[in-house]
């Protein structure tokens, strides 16, 4: 199984300061599921760049984590991905909506690169919290899963019982 993590999921996985109990539980459960499925996590170079920009002094540690794990594969924006992204750009321009509702032209290009890499790598799904990637992935036939769509771990789904006696 091949899956893609964009920057929003990589940050949740790598940066402990952004994880709350629910986020941490969902990400940990996802990683257990991917591990048991022997999935490979593709990290597109545009997403990696975005994570490293915000990582500051932690950037070398993030790279070490990614490079040490056989589960991760850094995928470049190469020739085939460039062709895919260019085709998506041309389609949007022909349709008269080159930004497709996105905030900026540069963000659109970046997100299309990530989706193009996912297509070229034949990923089954993309994990992303970016609405543009959700939209572009759906258009290109790639399932995109957001954090809130991830299941909680079985332990966290168990509710607590109120065992206080009535007054």
Residue 31 or 99, more confident:
31
Model confidence pLDDT, tens digit, residues 123-135 = 999 999 999 999 9
Strand pairing report for 2-5 and 40-44: parallel
Please check whether residue 4 is in contact with residue 118, taking contact to mean a CB–CB distance below 8 angstroms: yes
Domains delineated in the chain: 2-151 (3.40.50.1010)
- pTM for this structure? 0.85
What's the CA gap between 93 and 87, in Å, rounded?
10
Q: Is the pLDDT of residue 164 over 80?
A: no
3-state secondary structure 74-118: EECCCHHHHHHHHHHHHHHHHCCCCCCCCCCHHHHHHHHHHHHHH
- What pLDDT digit, counting tens, does each position of 32-83 carry? 999 999 999 999 999 999 999 989 899 999 999 999 999 999 999 999 999 9
């Amino acid at each position: 199984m091949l899956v893609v993590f964009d920057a929003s999921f990589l940050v949740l996985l790598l940066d402990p300061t952004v994880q709350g109990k629910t986020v941490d539980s969902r990400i940990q459960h996802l990683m257990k599921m991917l591990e048991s499925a022997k999935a490979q996590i593709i990290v597109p170079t545009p997403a990696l760049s975005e994570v490293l920009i915000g990582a500051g002094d932690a950037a070398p540690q993030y790279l070490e984590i990614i490079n040490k794990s056989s589960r991760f594969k850094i995928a470049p924006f190469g020739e085939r991905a460039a062709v895919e992204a260019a085709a998506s750009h041309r389609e949007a321009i022909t349709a008269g909506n080159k930004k497709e509702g996105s905030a900026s032209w540069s963000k659109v290009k970046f997100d299309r690169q990530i989706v193009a890499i996912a297509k070229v790598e034949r990923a089954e799904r993309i994990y992303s919290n970016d609405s543009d990637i959700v939209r572009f992935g759906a258009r290109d036939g790639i399932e995109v899963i957001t954090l809130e769509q991830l299941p909680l771990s079985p332990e966290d789904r168990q509710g607590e019982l109120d065992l206080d006696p009535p007054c």
